[in-house]
A = this chain, B = another copy of it.
Amino acid sequence: MTETSAAPAPGLRERKKQRTRSALIDAAFDLFLAKGYEATTIDEIVAAVDVSQRTFFRYFAGKEDLAVSVMRAYDQLFLELLAARPTEEPPIAALAATINGVFDEVRRSGDDHARFAKVRDLIENNPALAMAQLRYFNELEQEMASILARRMDVELATDLRPTLVAATFLTVMRVAFEGCAREGLFQPDEVAARVEEVFAMASETLPRVWSGG
Contacts and interface: CB of A to CB of B under 8 A. Distances in A.
Contacts of A205: 161, 164-165
A202 B210 contact: yes
B160 A164 contact: no
A167 B203 CA distance: 15
Contacts of A203: 210-212
Interface string A74-93: 00000000000000001111
Interface in A149-168: 160-161, 163-165, 167-168
Contacts of A193: none
A84 to B, nearest CB: 20
A19 B135 CA distance: 34
Given A161-B205, A168-B168, A168-B206, A212 B131 contact: no
Q: Place the interface of chain A in its size category.
A: 20 to 34
B207 A211 contact: yes
Copy number in the complex reads: 2
A161 B198 CA distance: 9
A33 interface: no
29 contacts: A90-B213, A91-B209, A131-B131, A131-B134, A134-B134, A160-B175, A160-B179, A160-B201, A161-B201, A163-B175, A163-B179, A164-B172, A164-B198, A164-B205, A165-B209, A167-B171, A167-B172, A167-B174, A168-B171, A168-B172, A168-B202, A171-B171, A202-B210, A203-B210, A203-B212, A206-B210, A207-B208, A207-B210, A207-B211
Interface of A: 90-93, 131, 134-135, 138, 160-161, 163-165, 167-168, 171-172, 174-175, 178-179, 198, 201-203, 205-213
Q: What 3 A-B pairs have minimum CB-CB distances, sorted nearest first?
A: A207-B207, A171-B171, A167-B171
